[in-house]
Structure 1
């Protein structure tokens, strides 16, 4: 017997609903937002890279607990470059190829960052540098119509100014030797230090470069001593810095050792031992500060890593804040479209409560550096740990980092 017209209609309707249910599940979730995290998780720069990754992970968890961004969860796509430029460039190329990640956070080493950033800029991937500090990194593509590279770390121009101010203005030392490795990081830092001295009418009594993997630096230290230096300023990574401090101790030469933020790394402090005592450096975060949000951040990471001393609180905090700033830009843009995200970062209206600061418009069209002189302070090695060189800084709270539009 043939089905009635009513039965036929109902059957067709039921089949249509089944097809619709298969095509559009009622409980489907939107795809995640994918953030590439590229850094040195192995090798000599691992203390920085692992700390950065820990900070990014913590921020991603925080964002995802509150519903994600635009209703989408954040998924981290982590890649270890081992501090090798070719590997970092390969990761940048792979992550920016379709289906590309929505953003990249990372880069510990300047030589790794330089070629990788060229690719990310060319492929229009919003990128926030969380560790590498060479001034060139955010200047390289600044003249292009849309500039996709931002940074949440203290650029070398600012670090050099603060280091020289500490040496010259605070301590009255004027005969300066500069010891720097010959990588892009060391060479750039040496130039910035020389410029900062020149602004005060000073010329270093010695500038000594050495290979990026050189470990016997007794000759460089001896040359600085014979040049009559009153202090040594450095731009290098932890193992070489330890070699400098050891050579100074072996030669019985007791003058201040100061330099960039890498003097706070465990592969300097632990390897140099007593010779590291008194070294001063620029920091954005010191573990035993008084700010409640910073205390909570440090305590969380210590608990997770089962340690009483973080490998690099600076790198962890900068990675954390970079992801929060990117998430705020997406919320403002209402989209993950790259140009919309860049525009939002350059005109960020939503205050962002970060670890290093409370950010209000941290970037602009012509300034992609979030960290200015209100954030960094001077650290000093005491008892194998980094403390505050100036006691009054211990009571300092996070600044409100407001920029004029």
Structure 2
């Protein structure tokens, strides 16, 4: 997978032509892994959504009559490189805003830089809760997000699990990384808000390929619904292990399973068994369908469409704030983001998406369920999902 992603990234990177930049142009930066890990697939999708938004802004006359230029950097999936790319964008390129990254760990490594230098950032992919809360008590927080926050994903998955399980026998199976352990904490706390205690909580190593031991314990506990908290390769191994022991309970997972790695490892038919959280899918509306078609021109193997849509909307919100502030000054743009008027996006029409108290532009009420079908990701709705009410989405 890594080799394939790297080869794809080389093709993408080679397609980036040099852009003539003039002193009056407004620069917006994009930084994400686009070559070095499984997350690169998400970063590449986000990159093309970012470019599509800039193209649309310029077609509509730019910002304050000025052309917008996107400056793209590949952070190669590592914190040191990610820090370097952000420093380059701010100090050398003089960007007026940043969209990125894909990896939460990279974001957490460099958040202090734009915060200190007063450059607004909209994160379109990374989901770690702390990204937008670390500087929440400062006089101005410069970190915003249009993505799926971990706990809010679990809020939707938990609501579905409680309604889907006949006897409220729900189990949690997560990888042993910080990501997975955070998921156990969130899922356990959210189920408790529903008055449900998991019948089993099991862990697996991120490199494990056989989870039958953990699954036999979960099966023995009587679980008819399992929430998996891990990235695509681990979740695929879980489903393969389920198949080995002829145990296929209702199975729920997070949006990381949108990666093409999941169906490649689990197999096309088995991958359809997993129900995932998503912020949008290509088949949601005419707007999402159109953006998907545009992104596929540059990224034919796109499966992580929400990353493209979230990056597109991130740029649109930054641009709207600059227009509202009539300025590219970071303090003024951030103040405008905190009190932004209606802005058309691909995912939705945003109306005051941020405030001083919250820099999350999407919440659980915006999220959907999705699943793999015929090699692509489609929106999923059944009678259980349709029965979920706002009061069921506990956080």
Write the distance in 1 (CA, Å) between the matches of 2:128 and 2:117.
22
**Contact 2:160–2:384 (8 Å) recurs in 1:** no
2:265 corresponds to = 271
Q: Does 1:40 align with 2:33?
A: yes
Q: Give SS of 1:97's match.
A: helix
- Report if the CA contact (8 A) 2:102-2:124 is conserved: yes
CA–CA distance in structure 2, aligned partners of residues 77 and 41 of structure 1: 14
1:249 and 2:249 aligned: no
Structure 1 residues 361 and 166: CA distance shift in structure 2, 3 A: same
8 Å Cα contact 2:101/2:124 also seen in 1: yes
Q: TM-score, normalized by length of structure 1?
A: 0.83
Match of 2:100 among 85, 98, 106: 106
TM-score relative to the length of structure 2? 0.85
Quick check: 1:53–1:316 contact (8 Å CA) kept in 2?
yes
What's the secondary structure of 1:271's corresponding residue?
Answer: helix
Instruction: Describe how 1:67-216 pairs up with structure 2 within 5 A.
Output: 67-97=61-91, 100-172=94-166, 174-216=168-210
Tell me which moved more, 277-286 or 326-335: 277-286
Q: CA deviation at 1:311?
A: 1.8
Residues 200-231 of structure 1: per-residue CA shift (max 9 Å, x gap): 12222333334444444444334433443322
The correspondence for 2:376, drawn from 382, 385, 396, is 385
Shift of 1:364: 0.9
Q: Is the 8 A contact 1:233 1:259 kept in 2?
A: yes
Which of the residues 310, 313, 322 maps onto 1:330?
322
For each residue in 1:151-189, what CA deviation from the matched residue of structure 2 results, as whole angstroms up to 9, or x when unmatched?
001212211110011111245462222222333432322
Report matched runs for 1:210-225 at 5 Å.
210-225=204-219
Instruction: Summarize the Cα distance change of 1:267–1:73 in structure 2 as closer, same or farther, 3 Å threshold.
Output: same
Paired residues of 2:148 and 2:362 also in contact (CA < 8 A): yes
Question: Measured at CA, do residues 393 and 122 of structure 1 come closer, stay the same or move farther in structure 2, by a change above 3 Å?
Answer: farther
SS at match of 1:240: helix
Equivalents in 1 of 2:79, 2:172: separation in Å?
Answer: 26
- CA drift at 1:56: 0.5
Secondary structure in 2 matching 1:131: coil
2:258–2:377 contact (8 Å) kept in structure 1: yes
Asked whether the 8 Å contact 1:278–1:382 carries over to 2, the reply is no
Task: Give the direction of change, closer, same or farther, for the CA distance of 1:222–1:81 in structure 2 (3 Å limit).
Answer: farther
Deviates more, 1:35-44 or 1:354-363: 35-44
Contact 1:111/1:185 (CA < 8 Å) preserved in 2?
Answer: no
Q: SS of 1:280's equivalent?
A: strand
The alpha carbon displacement at 1:98 in A equals: 5.1
> Matched residue pairs, number?
364
Aligned-residue offset at 1:142: 0.8
Unaligned runs of 5+ in 1: 1-27, 395-405
| TM-align CA RMSD | 2.4
Cα distance in 1 for residues equivalent to 2:328 and 2:314: 16
